[in-house]
Amino acid sequence: MPNRMFVPGPVDVDDEVLQAQTRPMMPHRNKEFEEIFRRAADKSRALFFTEARVLIMTNSGSGAQEASVRNLANSTVLSCVNGAFSDRWYKVSVANGKQTTKLEVPLGDAITPEMVEDALKKQKVELVVIAHNETSTGVRNPVKEIAQVIQRVSPDTLFAVDAVSSLGGDKIEMDAWGIDVLFTSSQKTLALPPGLALCAVNDRALKKAESVQNRGWYFDFVLLEKHRLKDSTPMTPAMSLIFALDFQMDRILKEGVEARIARHAAMAQRAQEWTIAKGWPLLAPEGYRSQTLTVVRNPETFDLAEFNKFIAPRGMKLANGYGDLKNKTIRIAHMGEIVMDDLNRLLSALGEFAK
């Protein structure tokens, strides 16, 4: 059986995908590489359910967070915070000099459409940012319904969504829902090595970027688009990772995007039902639970460090809580290459250990 890390990134990468990185280097401004670059970006649009451009960026998802606030707001941002990674986006916005209002809820809670509506009625902002899937808490925010509120209450406001730990494992219909910028990174549900962000940007967002001052250079959507139209990037890209992305997208499309999403949904249901039956409380409330990881409040008698020692000979590893939730929760990540048989193997070990 393959080794499996039940951690929310970096996740296990298939051996064939790792091997795809080893093809020889070539000039990044030649027709052969440009074709690979264009092909990988075009195929990845299926994950976003979009006809918009997908920018392949050599940086983590945090870089896409920074790119969003630099490109989409001259000044005012509403930052929705319900965990460590959405709070990072708030800090990124403040660090970039934006007038940023924090809409925050306790850890384990979701941002609701009503909260966003109230905030927008109090203050007009250029941009709303939110994490679809808060990786620290396992909470899935109702992005579709929030998008509807923004369109009704403040139609000129742009909407950017961080789907770093969910895109490809959950269905986020960028075009149908009216999301302006949607991004993920390579090391989670896409099951690639770290180092890439995929950022879908619609025409409305790109037009806004053209009017925003001080966008920077590395993260400038307008500059990235200028080069994308030539199947290239302004800077030298992470070529090996793009080789792997091109190969992995073929594997994802062969499985089928809808089938992949259904696989993640089934594993989420299995993990949630198992932990509830065990009497272990989930952090996220019903109706707001992630499809890619299950976050459980630490049972008093459960020692995660000892459990990881217990399962290490079986080639498995389970994740601790993150940030303020470290040693207070455990995170069962069921994303990427993990399948139901893998999850059942972990749950069996948990039942054996925690009798």
* φ/ψ bin of 353: left (φ > 0), alpha (ψ from -120 to 50), beta (otherwise): alpha
Residue 169 confidence (pLDDT) = 98
The CATH number of whichever domain residue 243 belongs to comes to 3.40.640.10
Which helix (H) or strand (E) element contains residue 205? Answer: helix 203-211
Same domain, 330 and 199: no
DSSP label of 323: G
Q: Residues in the chain, how many? A: 355
- On whether both 107 and 231 belong to a single domain, the answer is yes
Whether 354 has a pLDDT exceeding 90, the answer reads no
Separation CA 137–CA 83 (nearest Å): 6
Residue 289 and residue 318 in one domain: yes
pLDDT, one tens digit per residue, over 112-140 is: 999 999 999 999 999 999 999 999 999 99
Q: How many domains is the chain partitioned into structurally?
A: 2
Same-domain status, 218 and 274: no
Please tell me whether the overall predicted TM-score, pTM, comes out greater than 0.85 for this model. yes
Average pLDDT (7-18) is: 98
Residue 201 and residue 271 share a domain? no
**pLDDT tens readout for residues 149-208:** 999 999 999 999 999 999 999 999 999 999 999 999 999 999 999 999 999 999 999 999
Q: Are residues 37 and 106 in the same domain?
A: yes
Same domain, 224 and 262: no
Are 248 and 262 found together in one domain? no
Domain boundary among 220, 254, 288: 254
Domain of 129, in residue numbers:
15-254
3-state secondary structure 28-64: CCCHHHHHHHHHHHHHHHHHHCCCCEEEEECCCHHHH
51 and 133 within one domain = yes
- Do residues 197 and 317 share a domain? no
List, for residues 277-313, the tens digit of each pLDDT value: 999 999 999 999 999 999 999 988 899 999 999 999 9
